[in-house]
Chains A and B, each alone.
Chain A
């Protein structure tokens, strides 16, 4: 089955700086890679996703890149703000999730 590794488990950045979270997957047949944000007391919510026919996708301050050859994909958040503080999960094919990254934005 699919296996997803996510790093780092905790990431602390200064407000205004960029944050990068990385994931690797094992199944070369996987073709859908969503990223979810989970705020305290809530369920995860999709923030961006990418399919295997695309190398990069952007939505305002958030971007995702995909390297199919290396089987890894990354979430990039620029100009971080306090409301970006949350736990972020990557997933492969939407069913196998990484262990999560706790992003802390330092004021």
Chain B
């Protein structure tokens, strides 16, 4: 089975802190994605990556950056956390490139106070 793991289930950070959310997949997938999930808004794509060291902006990239130094790991970075970034963050992976099933991690619930 494909496994996508996220470094934390719950995280509490203070406004202005730099926050790292880590995601690891074990199926050698080419593609990895970061979404945020908010009540009534569904899943919104922040960033995605089709290859190592490659990244593409999604629909809501402002305030976020990403890093993909290894194929299995995709990190989401909040450079200076703000309260409006309090949300559930979901990582996903898929293979091959293009429109195929995504496998999601369990999510990280981030609270910024």
Which A residues are closer than 8 A to B by beta carbons?
1, 6, 9, 31-32, 34, 36, 41-46, 49, 51, 89, 93-100
Flag the segment in B11-19, B35-43, B66-74, B78-86 that touches A: B35-43
**Which of chain B's residues have a CB closer than 8 A to the CB of A95?**
33, 45, 48, 58
**Which of chain B's residues have a CB closer than 8 A to the CB of A36?**
104
Question: Could you tell me if B106 and A43 are in contact, using CB atoms closer than 8 angstroms?
Answer: yes
Chain A residue nearest to B9 in the complex (CB): A41
Which B residues are closer than 8 A to A by beta carbons?
4, 33, 35, 40-45, 48, 58-59, 90, 92, 94, 98-102, 104-107
A100–B44 alpha-carbon span in the complex (Å): 12
A55–B32 alpha-carbon span in the complex (Å): 29
Chain A residue nearest to B107 in the complex (CB): A43
